[in-house]
Homo-oligomer: A and B are copies of this chain.
């Protein structure tokens, strides 16, 4: 059975380049893949469909065209009157304006969180401009590879904002700590290179050329998809549950989780294949 097709999706190409591998491409290259309101809902829909799909075991994300993964928020759209960041509504009661903005922020956070909650491993393939929302989005992925000329920036400060849809919460998690470097780049929106991203562990690989980036991402995704899905998805779930909690909590949660999961047929299949030096296959999950 093939994965479920995505209809009514306009701003993303969703393809299935290999068995059990999905590829989500942000597709608004004429605007450097910048995001505006209608794109958000689509992104959430896509990940909510891929997450439980038994024909999907690994997901790649990249940007259409050579120039950008995404330039982030489409500032021209955002500054229009009527938009939450727009120039309207100056006379409104600040507490009512705050309530309305809080609802809006929660909606956007929830889109990025849909990526973070996805049951299947997600790999961001970063290239060209990777600004603002590009950092929020890829920080919600499990793994990040970058093309060697990628231009990164935690851009929010440059539009007068603290990054509020996830970067400030997830960046310390994915690079490990509120290091001196994290503060350098978040406090000023200064750009940084792929090399710097690698040294500071934001990405785990740097690849020369976008075509090579996509193909190395695909190879890795196929490797993930060849493993026991019970083991892979459990590993992701437990690692993510560990964040911000104590070791004792985590050990207890792991035991509750694996009490069911160790009963999987994957275990005997994998162990037997290992002893017999064969490649195992696993039931859908």
Interface residue ranges, A against B (CB under 8 Å): 52, 75-76, 78-79, 84-85, 87, 93-99, 101-103, 105-106, 109, 113, 116, 121, 142-145, 156-164, 166, 168-170, 172-184, 186-190, 200-204, 220, 223-224, 227-228, 230-272, 274-275, 280, 282-285
Contacts and interface: CB of A to CB of B under 8 A. Distances in A.
A157 B231 contact: yes
Contacts of A189: 227
A124 to B, nearest CB: 9
Contacts of A95: 230, 260-266, 285
A248 B248 contact: yes
A32 to B, nearest CB: 14
A254 B157 contact: no
A241 B102 CA distance: 15
Interface centre among A103, A113, A184 (most CB of B within 10 A): A184
Binding site secondary structure of chain A: helix
Given A173-B177, A203-B180, A267-B85, A251 B109 contact: yes
Contact of A187 (B102, B142, B265): B142
Given A99-B233, A105-B259, A160-B267, 5 more contacts: A94-B97, A158-B274, A160-B282, A161-B228, A161-B231
20 contacts: A52-B103, A75-B274, A78-B271, A79-B268, A96-B264, A96-B283, A98-B263, A99-B230, A105-B254, A105-B262, A113-B251, A160-B264, A162-B231, A166-B247, A169-B250, A172-B243, A177-B201, A178-B243, A184-B220, A187-B224
